[in-house]
Amino acid sequence: MAVYQARIIHVSIDRPWQEVYAYASKPENMQYWASGLAEGLRRDGDEWIGDGGPIGRIRVRFSPNNPYGILDHTVAMEDGTVVGNPMRVVPNVDGAEVMFTLLKRPEMTEEVFEADAAHVQKDLMALKAVLEGKA
């Protein structure tokens, strides 16, 4: 049984968690806060296709809308690599906590893992700025 090194990257957002979930769960909004998808996504059946920049075209599948704040999504890259991305929005008193679990896959160097973590943190801070009206 394998267990990867994991890091939970999170941000507190001063908005009701249901509003944060409603906004973040719409793939068409990702272009406003997920920098790797600045060109946006287009729907293709149950998946969304986007330009992943240096990794090429990507296919993204999102968890269905749910009342639990689950924003899990998988990203399939052109080389066949599929990466699961666990993500949650949970209540934090009157606001929300958004948490992304980054897993260090075997092929990732420590430098790549740290760069990915910094990238996710930047994106979560952008989501916070958009939702708190500071973007």
Domain extents for the chain?
Answer: 6-131
Residue 129: phi and psi, rounded to 5, are -60, -45
Evaluate whether 92 touches 85 at the Cβ level (below 8 Å).
Answer: no
pLDDT at res. 101: 98
pLDDT at res. 135: 62
Contacts of 59 (CB under 8 A, 6+ apart): 44, 47, 48, 49, 75, 76
Kindly report the three-state secondary structure assignment for every residue of 81-109: CEEEECEEEEEECCEEEEEEEEECCCCCC
pLDDT at res. 38: 61
6-131 is classed in which CATH architecture? 2-Layer Sandwich (3.30)
Model pTM? 0.91
Whole-number percent of the chain with pLDDT over 70: 96
Cα separation, 17 vs 98, whole angstroms: 9
Cα separation, 110 vs 114, whole angstroms: 6
Cα separation, 123 vs 126, whole angstroms: 5
The tens digit of pLDDT for each residue in 35-82 reads: 876 677 889 999 999 877 777 788 999 999 999 999 999 999 888 999
pLDDT at res. 50: 85
pLDDT mean across residues, the chain: 92
Would you place residue 1 in the very low, low, confident or very high pLDDT band (cuts 50, 70, 90)?
confident
For residue 89, pLDDT beyond 80: yes
Edge to edge, the sheet with strand 57-62 lists 41-44, 47-51, 57-62, 73-77, 82-85
**Mean pLDDT score, 22-39:** 87
**Mean pLDDT score, 23-43:** 86
